[in-house]
Amino acid sequence: MKSKFIMAVSFLGLVGAQLPAQARSLMPPVWSAELTRIHLDEQLPYKDSVVGAEIEINYAARKATLTLMRKFSCPVGQFCAQVMPMPIVIELPIVDRNVDECGSKLIKAAKDLRRVDGALQTLAIRDNTANHCPSFVARPATEVIMKSEYHGRGRPMSTRSTFEGEALRPVYNKM
């Protein structure tokens, strides 16, 4: 009886040693913030239809997602389906993460599709919640700069839009 118990324990020990260990980080992998100040570039075709924005950083999947919510519009005197328009979603892979000398976290996400008639899209995200340097003006908790470079109508074109908003908060339901 004793030998069977010892064999069972050693077998479970061997099997358990081969299973991968799943360590959990103390930092949640997904962070999100609502962006309250929106300054879209004049060249963007949807600049007048955006009413809200949100940034989401998924460290586990190594991607940053900027979601622009569009307003519902129906011409006066027309019957329209009461369906909200699809949001504009810009999802880019994270290519760089740093912390500057003041303690602000800098995250850069980019995708270059210029070789296939696309654009170079970048998102520069600055989390100022841990910033400890003195400043004459109050910094927003989260800053986002969206840039796009492409070739249009025979010449290079570029856009630059800026966003400011609330502090990044962990999102526990997307893990």
Instruction: Encode pLDDT of 39-53 as tens digits.
Output: 999 999 999 999 999
Residue type, 154: G
pLDDT-derived band of residue 167, with 50, 70 and 90 as boundaries? very high
pLDDT-derived band of residue 84, with 50, 70 and 90 as boundaries? confident
CA distance 146 to 161: 5
pLDDT at residue 22 tops 70: no
* pLDDT of res. 32: 97
Q: What is the mean pLDDT of the chain?
A: 87
* pLDDT of res. 9: 60
Q: List beta partners, residue 163.
A: 38, 144
Question: Average pLDDT in the 72-94 region?
Answer: 86
Query: Whose CA is closest to 15, among 26, 23, 7?
Result: 7
Residue type, 64: A
CA distance 151 to 140: 33
Question: Average pLDDT in the 146-173 region?
Answer: 90
